[in-house]
Amino acid sequence: MSKATIPKPRRTKSQIAEIKARFLAHYPQAKTELNYRNMYELLVCVMLSAQCTDKRVNLVTPAFFARYPSVQALAQADIAEIKDLIKSISFFNNKAKYLHQMAQQVLEHFQGKIPTTQAELKSLAGVGQKTANVVLLEYCQANVMAVDTHVFRVSHRLALSNAKTPEKTEQDLQRVFVTELSNLHQAFVLFGRYICKAIKPQCSQCFVQEFCHKDKTRKKPKPKAKITLQ
């Protein structure tokens, strides 16, 4: 995509630098809240977390990994059993199929090891760019940005992007921040999850409130008609 087609940020360089510094200061060692022990488990967790909460995923994965402790075990699994283990997860039918296919592909094409490049990860069933980037930035500390619902909301409220898709928002954030993208992604997720919520944001706890334009984009209520006593 050419530079001319990428929406320009609404923030100045100094404002962007200040926002970046504050997020890194407030979340110096931000990590995912998904529980995992290796890259295989991380990939499974991230795939399960699509349109589902990390809390719910963490409730399901202990039994899942006890039953399928490796790619090899998952590749040989019965899909009906996978579905039964993850049935409390959103879209569990499709996710069960993707998990099974992913494991088979890893055995067939990557000698049983989870690949560590974006292109290779995206070649796996059920793995899009966001999932691939989350795995890479979390496990490999790769300098990439992933845009989920929290990152999308925060970046738009802070006027760091006006793009209408996660992919273009990702491009904006990578362009304005350039470095330390993995830490910033995790920081934005935590900030969006606990402070800058979609509903009832905790504005009193916000450390970048002066940069937020949420109130400016909200429709103002019509003034109430004055009531006079007769």
Active site residues: 130, 148
What tokens were used for 63? 């039994």
Nearest alpha carbon to residue 34 among 50, 58, 51, 68 = 58
Q: Could you give the CA distance from residue 211 to residue 203 in angstroms, rounded to a whole number? A: 12
Query: Do residues 117 and 140 lie in contact, with contact meaning Cβ atoms separated by under 8 Å?
Result: no
Nearest alpha carbon to residue 23 among 177, 207, 178 = 207
Half-sphere CA count of 108, side-chain side, radius 13 A:
11
Q: Could you give the CA distance from residue 53 to residue 189 in angstroms, rounded to a whole number? A: 12
Query: Do residues 147 and 170 lie in contact, with contact meaning Cβ atoms separated by under 8 Å?
Result: yes
Residue 46: helix, strand or coil by DSSP?
Answer: helix
